[in-house]
């Protein structure tokens, strides 16, 4: 939901009404793009220009907790730890049209997808591995090293790896390659789920259906959306 707080932009323009529009997850944390308007009336006016846009962060991944990551991010922005500390969260008076509701749903899903990708993955029998951007690069580098030939006198290839819980373990070449395969499967499954949910968003017919779509893990069922008003049921009244 939008939030209210007086804010003077670096260009000297006073703004009052703010809304998160995009979320990005990077190695350093969560970054949130915020649009600002001079007043709520300007926000509510169709086609009104944005007075200011900026990116804020990093926020912890916990800032995306909840079914609506954008709403969670706005809560963080207005919190004591956020850049708009003391802001008042506000329920907008203008209802979203279908296209806006679909865009909002996609931002929710995309934020959840990005957080899931970097949120770690499990390797049975070993433990949980980090999967943020830097960890993914390290895994790829270790796999390359595991594939390289070694002089016999150096012995078998091994590496000491720190798991997500900070436990240090030894991995041989075969195990390291398996970790890489599981990372690839984790990323692929996460993005497949994102594409599936995006198609679901594109297929909805009313705002209420779009509002129900949130990020869910790849192995979780997606709740069935209610039928659009006036839709035929059980073949009756088509």
Residues 103 and 77 in one domain: no
Pick the last residue of a domain from 94, 112, 128.
Answer: 94
Can you give the pTM of this predicted structure? 0.66
Q: What digits encode the pLDDT tens for the residues 108-144?
A: 888 888 888 988 999 999 999 999 889 999 999 999 9
Task: For residue 32, give its domain range.
Answer: 1-94
Residues 5 and 117 in one domain: no
Residues 45 and 123 in one domain: no
Residues 124 and 56 in one domain: no
Nearest CA among 165, 124, 160 for reference residue 145: 160
Residues 170 and 185 in one domain: yes
User: CA 124, 125, 129 angle in degrees (round to 5)?
Assistant: 60
Cβ atoms of 129 and 136 within 8 Å: the answer is no
Residues 209 and 103 in one domain: yes
Domain count, the chain: 2
Instruction: Count the neighbouring beta carbons within 10 Å of the beta carbon of residue 132.
Output: 18
Pick the last residue of a domain from 46, 77, 94.
Answer: 94
Helix (H) or strand (E) holding 140: helix 133-147
Instruction: Count the neighbouring beta carbons within 10 Å of the beta carbon of residue 207.
Output: 17
Please give the span between the terminal C-alpha atoms of the chain, in angstroms, as a whole number.
38
Q: What digits encode the pLDDT tens for the residues 169-190?
A: 999 999 999 999 999 999 999 9
Residues 110 and 145 in one domain: yes
CA 111 to chain centre: 2
- Structure confidence at residue 115 (pLDDT): 82
């Amino acid at each position: 939901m939008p939030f209210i707080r007086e804010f003077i932009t670096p260009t000297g323009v006073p703004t009052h009404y703010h809304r998160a529009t995009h979320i990005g997850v990077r190695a350093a944390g969560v970054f949130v793009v915020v649009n600002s308007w001079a007043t709520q009336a300007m926000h509510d006016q169709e086609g009104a220009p944005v007075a200011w846009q900026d990116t804020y962060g990093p926020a912890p991944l916990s800032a995306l907790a909840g079914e609506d990551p954008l709403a969670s991010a706005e809560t963080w922005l207005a919190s004591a730890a956020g850049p708009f500390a003391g802001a008042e969260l506000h329920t907008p008076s203008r209802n979203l049209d279908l296209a806006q509701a679909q865009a909002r749903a996609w931002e929710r899903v995309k934020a959840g997808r990005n957080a899931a990708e970097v949120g770690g993955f499990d390797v049975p029998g070993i433990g949980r591995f980090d999967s943020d951007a830097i960890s993914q690069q390290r895994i790829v580098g270790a796999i390359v090293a595991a594939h390289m030939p070694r002089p016999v006198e150096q012995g078998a290839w091994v590496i000491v790896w720190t798991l997500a819980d900070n436990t240090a373990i030894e991995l041989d070449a075969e195990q390291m390659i398996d970790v890489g395969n599981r990372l690839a499967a984790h990323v692929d499954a996460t993005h497949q789920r994102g594409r599936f949910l995006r198609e679901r968003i594109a297929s909805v017919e009313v705002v209420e259906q779009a509002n129900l779509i949130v990020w869910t893990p790849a192995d979780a069922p997606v709740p069935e959306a209610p039928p659009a008003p006036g839709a035929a049921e059980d073949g009756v009244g088509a």
